[in-house]
Amino acid sequence: MNENKFKAAAQGPAGAIRTEGGLFSVLEKKLKLENYFEAGFPVHYVPKILFVMVLGLIYIGNTHHGEKTVRNINHIQAEVEDVRADYTTMKAQLMFSSKQSEVAAKVKAYGLEESLTPPYKVVVEKGEY
């Protein structure tokens, strides 16, 4: 079994150990934030900081509400497509079952037959009724 070994630290010029800074260490070096807090915490910035924080919370809440609304719309659109397909199917079945030949076949079981004489128009004179 192999033994655990430490890696040698990266050596810079003249044998000095080089540490690579991350994003925050680079920002700290460039902005020099420690100069702002030498005399204590600047209280006069608190209302502005709180305002920006409230705006951030409102922005996050609005984003969540928008995403929830989009998910709801997608769900309802899928449901509408299902209902539309059901409507089309039922309409086709109704149109088929209301054809004259289908109606005649269904009422034959009750002993009714299709009339062989065509219908005629009843004309009523103006003073007759």
- pLDDT tens figures, 17-48: 555 678 888 888 888 877 777 777 778 889 99
Per-residue pLDDT of the chain (129 residues; tens, 9 = 90+): 688 887 766 555 655 555 567 888 888 888 887 777 777 777 888 999 999 999 999 999 999 999 999 999 999 999 999 999 999 999 999 999 999 889 999 999 999 988 889 999 999 998 887
Per DSSP, 49 falls in state H
CA distance 19 to 9: 9
The two three-digit tokens of residue 46, written as one number: 């608190």
Three-state DSSP state, 21: coil
CA distance 60 to 62: 5
CA distance 13 to 84: 75
The two three-digit tokens of residue 98, written as one number: 């209301």
